[in-house]
Amino acid sequence: MAIVIVVIVVAVLVVAGLAAFLLAPSRRARPPIVEVPPAPPAKPAIKPEVEPAVKPEGAEPEAAAPVIERPPPSAGRLVRLRDRLSGSRSTLGRGLLALLSKDTIDDQTWEELEEVLLTSDVGVAASTALVDRLRERVRVLGTRDPEQVRELLRAELLETLHPDADRSLHTAPHDGHPAVVLVVGVNGTGKTTTCGKLARVLVGDGRTVLLGAADTFRAAAVEQLATWAERVGATVVRGAEGSDPASVAFDAVATGRRDGVDTVVIDTAGRLHTKTPLMDELAKVKRVVERDAPVDEVLLVLDATTGQNGLIQARIFGSAVDVTGVVLTKLDGSAKGGIVLAVQQELGVPVKLVGLGEGPDDLAPFEPEVFVAALLGA
C-alpha cells in the first residue's frame, strides 16, 4: 500500500514538473506590463479651419473688420424715450397738476402756479405770459372745474412750444453739394456726442454722412468723433491738432462734395476763454464754409441742466451765427422740463432735437405734443 502511495506521489510530481517546463517559455515571451494612459477624449467634429487660431505670444492682434451699425430710424423716438423725462415731470408736471387738482382755483392758486413755473426753469417772461393767458381763458370760460382747467393748461403749454414751427432738419443735398450742418455750443454741453448721435440719426434715416472735426483744440473730441463715425461707416475729416478750424470745416465740405455725401456735420470748438474769441472764430468758420456751399443748419447745443444759463449762451451764439435750431441735451437727468418752454418762448428758434441719455440712439426729434403729454403724465 505504501508503495502505491509513493508511486502516486512520484507520478503527480513528475506531471507537475512536466507542466511547469512546458509553460515556462510562453511566460517569458509576454511583454512587460506598462501603465496605459486613459484614451484621450474624442475630438469634437469641428473642421480645423473654424477652430480659433492660436496666436504666438507677443503677436499683434489682427484688426477686426469694423462692424457697421445700422441705427434705427428717428421717427417716433420721443414716444419711445418719454419715460426718460421723469425728472421734468416730477418738477414741473406734478407741481402743476397738484395745484390744479384743488377744489377751487383762487388768486393764491395762480400765484403758486407761477411759482412752480419759475422754479422749473420756465423763466420770468414765459411764466408770466403763460399764467396770464391761462387765467384769462379760465375767466372767459367761467370754469372752475380742475379737469377743464387742466385741459386748458395742456393747450397753453403746447402753445408756448410753438407746435407749428418748422422742426425739420435740412439735411438733404441740393444744387450739387451736400447739406451742411454746423454744430455749435459751449464745451461740456454734449456737442461732440450730439454730432455722433446726429450722424446715427441721419444714417438711420437713409442719408450718407461725413463728420468734420473742426474742434481742433481737443484731440479727445476728434478721437471721439472718429469713433462715432466708424460705427456707422461715415468718413471723418480732421486737421492737425491746433490747425485752423475754418480750413478743416472747408475741407470737410469739399470732401463731402467730392464723395457725393448727403450731409456734412461739422463739430466746432466750444471753449470760452482763449486768445481768439470763440464767437469770431465761429463766424469765420461759417463764412469760410459758405465760400463753397451754404450752411443749411446751425444747431446750438444747450445743456438742459444748466437752466437759465443756457439762454444766456443762446443769445451770445445767436449774435455770431444765425442759429436755426436748438438741441437740448441731458433732459433725462435732473433737468427741469421748464427749460424747453423757456428756450422755445424766449429764443424764437425751434427746439429740433432733444438728448435723453448717453446711449448712441438717445437723441430724438422734438415733438411738442408728446413732450406736453409726458409732462402732464397723460
* Residues forming the site for ligand GDP (CB under 6 A): 185, 187-193, 221, 270, 329-330, 332-333, 355-358, 362
Cβ proximity of 184 and 300 under 8 Å: yes
Nearer CB in complex with ligand GDP: 97/302: 302
Residue 224 beta carbon to ligand GDP: minimum distance, rounded to whole angstroms: 6
- State the minimum distance, in angstroms, from the CB of residue 162 to ligand GDP: 22
Nearer residue to ligand GDP within complex by CB, 324 or 329: 329
Based on CB atoms, which residue is closest to ligand GDP, 173 or 310?
310
CA atoms within 13 A on the CB side of 176: 1
Count of CB atoms situated within 10 Å of the CB of 333: 16
Cell of 206: 437713409
Which is nearer to ligand GDP, 266 or 356 (by Cβ)? 356
Residues 185 and 300: beta-carbon distance below 8 Å: yes
> Which residue's Cβ lies closest to ligand GDP?
355
- Min dist. Cβ of residue 362 to ligand GDP (A): 6
Q: What angle do CA 151, 156, 158 make, to 5 degrees?
A: 95
Choose between 153 and 186: whose C-beta lies nearer to ligand GDP: 186
Beta bridge partners of 210: 235, 264
From the number of C-beta atoms within 10 Å of its C-beta (0-12, 13-18, 19+), residue 136 rates as exposed
For 22, the 3-state DSSP assignment is: helix
Instruction: Tell me whether residue 294 or residue 359 sits nearer to ligand GDP (CB atom).
Output: 359
Residues 6+ positions from 248 with CB-CB distance below 8 Å: 212, 213, 214, 216, 237, 238, 239
Shortest distance (Å) from residue 226 CB to ligand GDP? 14
H helical segments located in the chain: 2-29, 77-80, 86-88, 94-100, 107-119, 124-141, 146-160, 191-204, 219-231, 245-259, 278-289, 308-320, 338-347, 368-375
| Rounded least distance, CB 249 to ligand GDP, Å | 16
Q: Is 23 exposed, middle or buried (0-12, 13-18, 19+ CB in 10 A)?
A: exposed
Nearest to ligand GDP of 118, 226 (CB atom)? 226
Classify the C-alpha dihedral 376-325-121-151 as positive or negative.
Answer: negative
Least Å from the CB of residue 319 to ligand GDP: 20
- Could you tell me if 245 and 281 are in contact, meaning their C-beta atoms sit under 8 angstroms apart? yes
CB 235, min distance to ligand GDP, A: 20
Tell the smallest beta-carbon distance from residue 176 to ligand GDP (Å). 31
Q: Smallest distance from the beta carbon of 255 to ligand GDP, in angstroms?
A: 22
Between 307 and 357, CB nearer to ligand GDP: 357
Cβ-based nearer residue to ligand GDP, 146 or 239: 239
Please write down the long-range contacts of 145-150, taking CB distance under 8 Å and 24 or more positions apart. 146/100, 146/101, 146/102, 146/103, 146/105, 149/100, 149/105, 150/97, 150/100, 150/376
